[in-house]
Structure 1
Amino acid sequence: MSKRKVKKTMTIILSCVGALLVIAFASLFVISGIFEQPKYLEPWQKTYSQKFDDPRIRLVAHGLLSSNGHNMQPWKIRLDKNNPKVFYLYADSDRLTSEVDPFARQMMVTQGTFLEYVKIAGDESGYQTAIELFPDGGYNEQKLSESMKTIPVAKITLTKTNPQSSVLYDFLFLPDTNRAAYQSTKLTSEQINQLEAINADTGLSMKIFQDKVNIDKLNGYAVQGASIEAGVDRVMKESETIFRANEYQKNKYRYGFSVEGQGTSGIMRHLTQGLVTLFPSTNSGKAASDLFIQSARTSVGNTPAYAMITTKDNSRTSQVKSGMLYSRLILAAHRLGFVMQPLSQVLEEYPEMKEPYSNIHRDYASDGGTIQMLVRLGEPTKEVPQSMRRDVMDMIVEE
């Protein structure tokens, strides 16, 4: 074969390969749902709440943006039919993550994060929010799931007042969690004082650590917790079942996990979603466990500071209050240019986590208190995308 024919043949082969690659990439984008309108992001728009005439629903639409365990958004709202300024918050027991949160502690913290967002949005909108926790009494802990259906976490009463511009309001619309690496810059003493000063509840304690001894110790606990969790099949399976692989699934369910959780965005998001949809095994079993551990190591290896919220007791009320404090911490940190990521694994209460759970409480809550939140804190190296949110009307239940 002449050199000219060989060259021509190679050109044809390369053209075919190139065409196949183009087709393959285009197929991944289509499978990912690149042309699908992301309805699951609509609640993040500042104008979203304005679509509703009822001020209660407007505030609930803000609460929907708050941090919540496993992005389950486990909130139900009952509007008082007799008083247009009253509504009730219930924990949605159909959204319990019982493997990772067997005693529903994280579930109750999540109720608190919601309430604080509602409170801040109320101030901005000209509604004072009076929040009464467990107005009908506490849960029957022996029948917890059933009790959650009938016992409200909070009664919220609105009083019309003059709008009060809140320095935290604009930060409600930023992602609450950033799992990427953080810059090595430490917090100043003034910044630490500002953050720790947001806690005014004597039953709660908030502390920021950034000295090497505590950073190394907390890094160890974070990695140990992640490693243990990655090895517990039933816990990993629970997370796997709420993973949304593509845009179609995200629009259908609008809660749970997705590739954005690891900071993947842009073209890479669609390529990854297409691959995960075609090959689900890449996001399950050993592959998922290894990725989870590696992500934890990378994150804690680039963490200049930790924040910890503890309570004197572990009552349901204290759990809710710690969530309210956590929301305020997130927003105050955003205002100072910081981001956060909760490291919940070592604080979880299933049997395999018993040893590190006991040890971290021995080291940081030796007075018998309970650590409710442990979070990374620092200046971001990159922005992360917003996560899925449900339609606010899906949370409203009829009496």
Structure 2
Amino acid sequence: MSKRVVKNTMIIILSCIGALLIIAFASLCIISGILEPPKYLEPWQKTYSQKFADPRMRLVAHGLLAANGHNMQPWKIRLDKNDNKVFYLYADSDRLTKEVDPYARQMMVTQGTFLEYIIIAGAELGYKTTVELFPEGNYNEQKLSESMKTNPVAKVTFEETEPKSSSLYDYMFWPDTNRAAYQSTMLTSEQIKQLATTNADINMSIKIFQDQENVDKLGSYAIKSAAIEAGVNRVMRESQTIFRANEYQKNKYRYGFSVEGQGTSGFMRHLAQGLVTLFPAMNSGKAASDLFIQSTRTSVDNTPVYTMIITDDNSRSSQVKSGMLYSRLLLTAHSLGLVMQPLSQVLEEYPEMKEPYSSIHRDYASTGGTIQMLVRLGKPTKEVPQSMRRDVMDLLVEE
């Protein structure tokens, strides 16, 4: 066989391989839903709230963008039929994550993040909002799920006023969580001051750590707790049941986890989604546990600063208020060019997490307070995509 024939044969083989790879990639993209319009991103558009005539729904549309545990978006809204300037916020007990959050503490923090976004949006849109927590009384803790259905977390009342431009408003439309690596740059004294001044409640405190000893210690807590969580099958299954493998699922459910949360974007997102759709085992069982531990380690290895929100007590009101503070802290961080990611595992309260939970409280809340949030903080190395959001009308319930 002549060299020319061999060469031509190799060209044909390589061309066939290339064509097959292109077909395979195109097939994975189709399986991923690359042609499916991402309706789950519509609420992130600044014009989204404007399509609602009721100003209450305009405010709620902004609250929908708030950070929330496991991206469950566990909010329900009841509009007051007798007063068009009042609505009520309820915790959606059908969206509890009972394995990682058995006492619904994170659920209450999530109610607070929502309320603070409403307050900030209200000022921008020309509404002065007043929030009254638990206006119909506290929950019956022995019948918590039922109590959430009857007792609102908050009564929100607003009155029209002159719009007041907020330096934080535009940052509400940024992705609330960045899980990528952060730059090694530490905070300046001025940045620390601005972050600290987001808190005006004497019953709460913000602690910021960027010395190497505490950064290493808190990183160790994060890795240890991630390893524990990865080894608890019922907890991992709970997360896996809300994983959305492709665009079709994301448009159908519009809440939960997806590959974007792992830092995958662009065409690689569709490649990953196509593969996970075809081979679900890639994101379940040991594979999911190993990926979770590895992603936590990568995060910890690229974290220059940690911050905590600590409350004097662990009442339901304090939990909600800590969420409100978290939103202010997050948006202020964004205004300073910083991003954040909660590291919630060590603060979860299921039995297997008892030892690190108790230990971190002995180390950092020895006076009897409760650490409501542990967060990594820093300058981003890359932008991350926005996460799924539900249609705001899905939050609305009738009396």
1:1-399 matches, within 5 Å, as 1-399=1-399
Once residues 317 and 352 of structure 1 are traced to their aligned partners in structure 2, the CA distance between those partners, rounded to angstroms, is: 27
**Local SS of the residue matching 1:88:** strand
Provide the aligned length of Structure 1 versus Structure 2.
399
Once residues 85 and 263 of structure 2 are traced to their aligned partners in structure 1, the CA distance between those partners, rounded to angstroms, is: 39
Once residues 383 and 3 of structure 2 are traced to their aligned partners in structure 1, the CA distance between those partners, rounded to angstroms, is: 52
Once residues 305 and 113 of structure 2 are traced to their aligned partners in structure 1, the CA distance between those partners, rounded to angstroms, is: 22
**Local SS of the residue matching 1:83:** coil
The Cα offsets for residues 274-309 of structure 1, whole Å up to 9 and x where unpaired, read as 111111111111111111001101101111111100
Once residues 34 and 158 of structure 2 are traced to their aligned partners in structure 1, the CA distance between those partners, rounded to angstroms, is: 42
Amino acid at match of 1:53: A
The Cα offsets for residues 93-126 of structure 1, whole Å up to 9 and x where unpaired, read as 0000000000000000000000000000000011
Once residues 345 and 112 of structure 2 are traced to their aligned partners in structure 1, the CA distance between those partners, rounded to angstroms, is: 19
Once residues 35 and 190 of structure 1 are traced to their aligned partners in structure 2, the CA distance between those partners, rounded to angstroms, is: 46
Once residues 303 and 68 of structure 1 are traced to their aligned partners in structure 2, the CA distance between those partners, rounded to angstroms, is: 21
The Cα offsets for residues 286-333 of structure 1, whole Å up to 9 and x where unpaired, read as 111111001101101111111100111100000000000000000000
Once residues 292 and 263 of structure 2 are traced to their aligned partners in structure 1, the CA distance between those partners, rounded to angstroms, is: 13
Give me the identity figure in percent. 80
**Local SS of the residue matching 1:155:** strand
Shift of residue 242 of structure 1? 0.3
Once residues 13 and 332 of structure 1 are traced to their aligned partners in structure 2, the CA distance between those partners, rounded to angstroms, is: 57
Once residues 226 and 391 of structure 2 are traced to their aligned partners in structure 1, the CA distance between those partners, rounded to angstroms, is: 32
**Local SS of the residue matching 1:226:** helix
Shift of residue 13 of structure 1? 2.0
Shift of residue 10 of structure 1? 2.5
| Structure 1 stretch displaced more, 207-216 or 67-76 | 207-216
Once residues 7 and 338 of structure 2 are traced to their aligned partners in structure 1, the CA distance between those partners, rounded to angstroms, is: 57
Once residues 11 and 335 of structure 1 are traced to their aligned partners in structure 2, the CA distance between those partners, rounded to angstroms, is: 54
The Cα offsets for residues 122-172 of structure 1, whole Å up to 9 and x where unpaired, read as 000111111000000000101101110110000000111111110100000
Amino acid at match of 1:157: T
Once residues 345 and 6 of structure 1 are traced to their aligned partners in structure 2, the CA distance between those partners, rounded to angstroms, is: 59
Once residues 238 and 15 of structure 1 are traced to their aligned partners in structure 2, the CA distance between those partners, rounded to angstroms, is: 45
Shift of residue 212 of structure 1? 1.0
Once residues 306 and 6 of structure 2 are traced to their aligned partners in structure 1, the CA distance between those partners, rounded to angstroms, is: 63
Once residues 11 and 389 of structure 1 are traced to their aligned partners in structure 2, the CA distance between those partners, rounded to angstroms, is: 48
Q: TM-score, normalised by structure 1?
A: 0.99
Gaps of 5+ in 1: none
Which aligned runs of 4 or more in structure 1 are off by greater than 4 angstroms?
none
Once residues 18 and 192 of structure 2 are traced to their aligned partners in structure 1, the CA distance between those partners, rounded to angstroms, is: 55
Once residues 246 and 67 of structure 1 are traced to their aligned partners in structure 2, the CA distance between those partners, rounded to angstroms, is: 22
Once residues 139 and 197 of structure 2 are traced to their aligned partners in structure 1, the CA distance between those partners, rounded to angstroms, is: 32
**Local SS of the residue matching 1:180:** coil
Once residues 8 and 122 of structure 2 are traced to their aligned partners in structure 1, the CA distance between those partners, rounded to angstroms, is: 71
Once residues 165 and 3 of structure 1 are traced to their aligned partners in structure 2, the CA distance between those partners, rounded to angstroms, is: 74
Amino acid at match of 1:261: G
Shift of residue 77 of structure 1? 0.1
**Local SS of the residue matching 2:187:** coil
Once residues 3 and 124 of structure 2 are traced to their aligned partners in structure 1, the CA distance between those partners, rounded to angstroms, is: 76
Once residues 327 and 111 of structure 1 are traced to their aligned partners in structure 2, the CA distance between those partners, rounded to angstroms, is: 11
**Local SS of the residue matching 1:340:** strand
The Cα offsets for residues 60-99 of structure 1, whole Å up to 9 and x where unpaired, read as 0000000000000000000001100000000000000000
Gaps of 5+ in 2: none
Amino acid at match of 2:81: K
Once residues 216 and 12 of structure 1 are traced to their aligned partners in structure 2, the CA distance between those partners, rounded to angstroms, is: 55
Q: TM-score, normalised by structure 2?
A: 0.99
Shift of residue 3 of structure 1? 3.4
**Local SS of the residue matching 1:346:** helix
Once residues 296 and 270 of structure 1 are traced to their aligned partners in structure 2, the CA distance between those partners, rounded to angstroms, is: 23
Once residues 226 and 151 of structure 2 are traced to their aligned partners in structure 1, the CA distance between those partners, rounded to angstroms, is: 34
Q: Alignment RMSD, CA only?
A: 0.8
Amino acid at match of 1:366: S
Once residues 223 and 330 of structure 1 are traced to their aligned partners in structure 2, the CA distance between those partners, rounded to angstroms, is: 23
